[in-house]
Structure 1
């Protein structure tokens, strides 16, 4: 099991009083729901903008590119902000910044300019990055270290509700008027204004809650103070594992609508409804994983899930029709526990460096930009089968991390 050293963390609340954690966990549940909803709604924007602005797959992939590029630029600065302001203020700041990005969809839709939508998504993503950096270590710290992966997976399960709802929401409120070119930008105006208002409301609620104050405390051995953060092998390799995992997850989700539409010869609106099953299977997997990870070693679960994902992708690109569609959708089930498990294994043994490591790991989420853009480039130039070998290779690295990469090595030099 991942061992996150709670001994390096202190809380102003009584750690033995479980009721003190309830408001924090509820606020984290709301946070993850909105992060999941907003992030997954990008999967609807990809085919929406592709048709509305007559883009290639590579150009439409810029939706995910600019959204996830923000993680590479802002994660480390966001980590420093959270270290100074605390987790609660960090979350409130993230909600407010994200609401500003969502509001910018209004002028972008009025002017009907693709680059303005990309700019709005970039700002929206900055808020999501701050939320992610604040929330990830907070979850691992709120409770026993040996159940960190389970707790993280359970909270992410709530986020999966948001990712499941988003494609259905996008199908009815964004893709349905796709045939009307005059409504191509108008369709996103009201949905994102509603998201902006909801984010502001959640920020106000979180700011009003009395959440546990958790800070690094205590004397730390000199050898640990002098250690550079990348001397932790599990973190160094874990950053790449998270890079490839997020890249694979986003690449599949981004083009799943178009892949299903081409495979089944149906409209994008009809195909987008299937995407809900992809994210819905992640919800099921995370709920089951929160229980499974209490009794089965997380590295073994991670390796098994990565192998299963590779098998399903292989079947999908080697077949056709509904078998190809449902096997690709089934990858979501095995994606479910990967992020939480990789994150927990990566910060194992980091002590006071946990928050800094969270920033670095969040930086690795830029894989969602690089891998999805690369897959879009492959689709434009080759075939779906060739393009989906890219996420398949990503899962191959995750197999390595689950079997060996997560292991720590003793420090030989101070």
Structure 2
């Protein structure tokens, strides 16, 4: 097999760096479009298949659990094939997953839909494992959170469009009336109505599959350079001397748990807000805009990060502010009550704190990633794959929310956010400094001196 030639990130000129950022930005747009469309797929499938809250969140489980299984193999695949060939393989997997929606819709089989979502997640796991370390190691490292914020704008911008476009293509003005009449229909009438509803996904997902194949070819033959993610500086090489496994980097493992909890809180804020609005008597056609509100607020947070980091506030301090703010908003979702009319919606005020979670969530990933990846050297790709693996938090946390929503109610289920933010606060203030599992609380870590932006 031909040896893949990789270059050091620091050797790229401004033109190559800009091209790399633009190409990776297009990937993050794609990540956002395919990921955040779940916010409308969940209530859509819940109606079409007459599901419980728990069963409807199997959408998130099927989509994101693939990250758990594929992220580490992705790191070895990318090392063997290189970034561009590996990413093309990821696009092919996603295209197959999108095409699976056709037989799933024709037979109205929930399991086939879930398998298609799993394949899309497999492809995204490969792309995420390539894209996140790629954008992180582009110099200068102290501006990593700023670049990740730019990628986040691409991601969440697509997320704003995805549920709105899906709803525009799939939903009809008469659907609310049809949904209300389902309970009074005969079995044959209900099956006919739900079959017609679910088959509306055939054309859009056939188009998505074709676009994914084309996008994969474009990336494969693009000028995106192969970057050496495993080159170590003399300082890092010296610090890592004698380290044999990735588990000898506690700040990474603790950061992986932080990523798991963070993405879980983020997807809960987006994917549960339509059913939460529904509990207030808001129709699906009206509620479809709420995920876009949350993602718009997230983009505002990214823009704030781009302006402030690192000139006015460090990555670590931004992370601290966001984690504390997230805990405050999660408590307000539980305890704030009262009707309010805003942006044409008459709802309980608590739903706007779900929307506002987009603000602190915006910079948590950007804060954790460079801190967790710092100083890994030759372990960079494996470390990145472990962090990407923790995107399975997107799969498990909504399921946990759905379990408590069925057991108690959709509002009380938001208590699952509180312990998540509590741990994120720990990592933001202390966890990222830990360099040895034997460190006792309060003991100073030598690793802290290597984190320039703490």
TM bucket (normalised to shorter chain) is over 0.9
Answer whether contact 1:248 1:392 (CA < 8 A) is retained: no
2:392 paired residue number: 366
1:6-405 matched pairs, under 5 angstroms: 11=7, 15-176=11-172, 178=175, 179=178, 180-215=193-228, 216-217=230-231, 220-221=237-238, 224=241, 226-263=243-280, 265-295=281-311, 296-318=313-335, 319-321=337-339, 322=347, 323-405=349-431
CA gap 1:300/1:253 in 2 versus in 1, 3 angstroms: same
* Deviation readout 1:357-410 (Å, 9 max, x if unpaired): 011011111111111101101001102232001022211111111111111437
* Deviation readout 1:244-282 (Å, 9 max, x if unpaired): 00111112222110101212x111121111211111111
* Deviation readout 1:277-324 (Å, 9 max, x if unpaired): 111111221122122221312222112112212222222222143421
* Deviation readout 1:99-123 (Å, 9 max, x if unpaired): 1111111111111100010010001
Answer whether contact 2:248 2:436 (CA < 8 A) is retained: no
Partner Cα separation in structure 1 for residue 90 and residue 205 of structure 2: 16
Partner Cα separation in structure 1 for residue 9 and residue 195 of structure 2: 55
Partner Cα separation in structure 1 for residue 25 and residue 202 of structure 2: 26
CA gap 1:10/1:207 in 2 versus in 1, 3 angstroms: closer
* Deviation readout 1:317-341 (Å, 9 max, x if unpaired): 2214342121210111211111121
Answer whether contact 1:11 1:213 (CA < 8 A) is retained: yes
2:433 paired residue number: 407
Answer whether contact 1:76 1:363 (CA < 8 A) is retained: yes
- 314-323 vs 122-131, which deviates more? 314-323
Uncovered stretches (5+) of structure 2, i.e. residues with no partner:
179-192, 340-346, 439-454
- 245-254 vs 355-364, which deviates more? 245-254
Partner Cα separation in structure 2 for residue 349 and residue 223 of structure 1: 8
- 82-91 vs 115-124, which deviates more? 82-91
Answer whether contact 1:48 1:174 (CA < 8 A) is retained: no
Question: RCO (CA 8 Å, sep 6+): is it higher in 1 or 2?
Answer: 1
How many residues get paired? 404
Partner Cα separation in structure 1 for residue 417 and residue 10 of structure 2: 44
Answer whether contact 2:136 2:148 (CA < 8 A) is retained: yes
Partner Cα separation in structure 2 for residue 14 and residue 359 of structure 1: 22
**Offset of 1:226 from its aligned partner?**
3.3
Partner Cα separation in structure 1 for residue 10 and residue 306 of structure 2: 25
Uncovered stretches (5+) of structure 1, i.e. residues with no partner:
1-8
CA gap 1:192/1:224 in 2 versus in 1, 3 angstroms: farther
* Deviation readout 1:113-140 (Å, 9 max, x if unpaired): 0001001000111001001001011101
Partner Cα separation in structure 2 for residue 275 and residue 183 of structure 1: 25
1:5 paired residue number: none
**Offset of 1:411 from its aligned partner?**
9.8
Partner Cα separation in structure 2 for residue 13 and residue 150 of structure 1: 17
Answer whether contact 2:28 2:152 (CA < 8 A) is retained: yes
Answer whether contact 1:95 1:203 (CA < 8 A) is retained: yes
Partner Cα separation in structure 2 for residue 292 and residue 118 of structure 1: 41
Partner Cα separation in structure 2 for residue 346 and residue 13 of structure 1: 19
1:3 paired residue number: none
Instruction: Determine which structure has more spread, i.e. the larger CA radius of gyration.
Output: 2
Answer whether contact 1:91 1:135 (CA < 8 A) is retained: no
**Offset of 1:170 from its aligned partner?**
2.5
**Offset of 1:16 from its aligned partner?**
4.9
**Offset of 1:198 from its aligned partner?**
1.5
Give the superposed CA RMSD.
2.2
